[in-house]
């Protein structure tokens, strides 16, 4: 998905509002525009639930297991 001008403006709004990085905000918007159900990312600096999209860290499960073992 491409980032259009409106996406960039919106990203800057979200960056300010949620105190996340501009890069993450832009990514969230791209995902939203693509109508995805889920975002897989390692750094969860994004808001955990952006406009109803789940943001998930697939490696979380491993690190939890790692500490238990």
Partner 1 sequence: MVNEEEYHSKPGEGSHKKRQSYCVEERNLIKPAFKRFFETDHNEEECYELSKRKVINILNKGYHLGGKIICSREELMNGRVFLDTNILVYAHDLDAGMKHRVALKIVKDIWDKKTGVVSTQVLQEFYMTVTKKIGNPILPSKRGELSGLMHAGKLWKIRWRLLSGHLK
Residues that bind partner 1 (CB under 8 A): 1-3, 14, 17, 23, 26-27, 30-31, 34-43, 48-54, 58-59, 62
How far apart, in whole angstroms, are the C-alpha atoms of residue 34 and residue 16?
A: 23
- Collapse the DSSP code of 49 into the 3-class scheme (helix H, G, I; strand E, B; otherwise coil) and give the result: strand
Provide the minimum distance between the beta carbon of 5 and partner 1 in the complex, in angstroms, as a whole number: 13
Provide the minimum distance between the beta carbon of 50 and partner 1 in the complex, in angstroms, as a whole number: 8
How far apart, in whole angstroms, are the C-alpha atoms of residue 62 and residue 33?
A: 30
Provide the minimum distance between the beta carbon of 58 and partner 1 in the complex, in angstroms, as a whole number: 6
């Amino acid at each position: 998905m491409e980032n259009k001008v409106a996406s960039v403006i919106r990203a800057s709004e979200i960056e300010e509002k949620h105190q996340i990085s501009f890069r993450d905000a832009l990514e969230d918007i791209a995902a939203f525009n693509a109508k995805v159900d889920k975002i897989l990312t390692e750094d969860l600096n994004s808001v955990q639930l952006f406009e109803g999209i789940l943001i998930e860290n697939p490696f979380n499960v491993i690190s939890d297991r790692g500490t238990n073992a």
